[in-house]
Amino acid sequence: MTGFEVLKTQFPAELRAMIGDVAARETTFGFSRVRAFRLDDGRYLKIADQPVAGSQRDLQPEAARLAWLRGRLPVPDLLYFDDQPGRQIMLITEIPGIASFNARFEGHEQQIITVLAEGLRLIHGVDVTACPFDQRLDVMIPAARRRMSAGQVDETDFDAVRQRRTAQSLYDELIATRPAETDLVLVHGDYCMPNILIDPDTRALTGFIDWGSAGVADRYLDLALAARSITYNWGAAWVAPFFAAYGLPNVDAGKIAYYQLLDEFA
């Protein structure tokens, strides 16, 4: 038996029936601190062992958001979710396409940057009147403090500009420099290039993945993480074209810096 077949014997009967005899291979692409398997029929299975509520090892937030987002945006369909003692399991459909930073898009950077900007406007245009997920600073800052107090903030993984600083010093800065939240929208919460999928032939947007941090927040949360991801993957020169394509002529650099700082606690 393969490793996946052995693992499958531990699944609830309902899930085993849904998977059937389909083979799978483990992948870490596009997922954070969970085990992920791509089934040969295109579905994805995520497994969080010993999940920690509110951490990146907690699948419940994404499952709830995918259920709410169905029909609103091009996101994976939630097929199955189970929260067992010591293990969470989620089965979702595949979004076609490849990650927006893929080397196949070399020479088409401006077009992809425009697609990234249009995709973000699509998310930010969703009506949040009935959105049950709150990612405003009154929620995010206490969550950051809880993760810091629990030792879940990796100080060795800070961005280069914050290397050799402590989590406590970053938290103090969060409190001291908190901006006003003046433009609340639905945010993806992790709008980075690996999470935006694009058709490799037409270079059209196909959808978005990894929704565990979505909710109502200032649009700058997404803009800040998008800017950082674009810089990391393609260089800082592409950030201004992204903002221009999004329709943001006057960028609040302070908010960009603040939400990148906040993400150190994710």
Task: Give catalytic residue positions.
Answer: 190
Q: Rounded to whole angstroms, how far apart are CA atoms 176 and 174? A: 6
Q: Rounded to whole angstroms, how far apart are CA atoms 152 and 147? A: 5
* Residue 201: other Cβ atoms inside 10 A: 8
Q: Rounded to whole angstroms, how far apart are CA atoms 219 and 29? A: 26
If DSSP codes are grouped into helix, strand and coil, which group holds residue 154?
Answer: coil
- Of the CA atoms within 13 Å of residue 244, those in its CB half-sphere come to 8
Rounded to 5 degrees, what angle do the CA atoms 117, 119, 125 make?
Answer: 105
